[in-house]
Amino acid sequence: METPKVFESEYRFCEILWEHEPVTSRELVRLCSEKLEWKKSTTYTVIRRLAERGILKSENAVVTSLVSREDIQSAESAEVVERTFSGSLPGFIAAFTRKRELTGQEIDEIQKIIDSYRRQE
């Protein structure tokens, strides 16, 4: 199953959901009012839209995610790489590191990821 597209404001909503789930819709209204300055109607509209797209479910006024943070981040990252760098991950990394110096820890983490893929070959 392809991960559904999540827009910026929806992602901020999902961050709240992931942090508190399972959570009642009433509590989500309170949290979204506090953290996003949303009205009650906005929160319920987003819950309905995300449920229709299979990103979350709302049963008996309890909301839980159906798509993980990691799945959303992976899909969004792949879309950026495809759209902006013609699918070239090395091109993305080169552009990213031109404006931002990597720490030793970040380099080590990236190297571990590369090493794990090499072992899978």
Give pTM, 2 decimals: 0.79
How far is the C-alpha of 40 from the C-alpha of 69, rounded, in Å? Answer: 24
pLDDT tens sequence across 22-33: 999 999 999 999
What's the topology of domain 8-69? Arc Repressor Mutant, subunit A (1.10.10)
Helix (H), strand (E) counts: the chain: 6, 3
Domain with CATH 1.10.10.10 in the chain: 8-69
Label residue 48 by pLDDT band (50, 70, 90).
Answer: very high
Q: How far is CA 13 from the centre of its chain?
A: 10
Label residue 1 by pLDDT band (50, 70, 90).
Answer: low
Task: Please state the rounded mean pLDDT for residues 69-90.
Answer: 92
**Does position 88 have pLDDT exceeding 90, yes or no?**
yes
Tokens of residue 35, six digits: 């953290």
**Does position 121 have pLDDT exceeding 80, yes or no?**
no
Average pLDDT, the chain: 93
Q: How many CA atoms lie within 13 A of 62 on its CB side?
A: 4
How far is the C-alpha of 29 from the C-alpha of 44, rounded, in Å? Answer: 8
pLDDT attached to residue 51: 96
**Does position 12 have pLDDT exceeding 90, yes or no?**
yes
Cis? peptide before 22, omega within 30° of 0: yes
Label residue 101 by pLDDT band (50, 70, 90).
Answer: confident
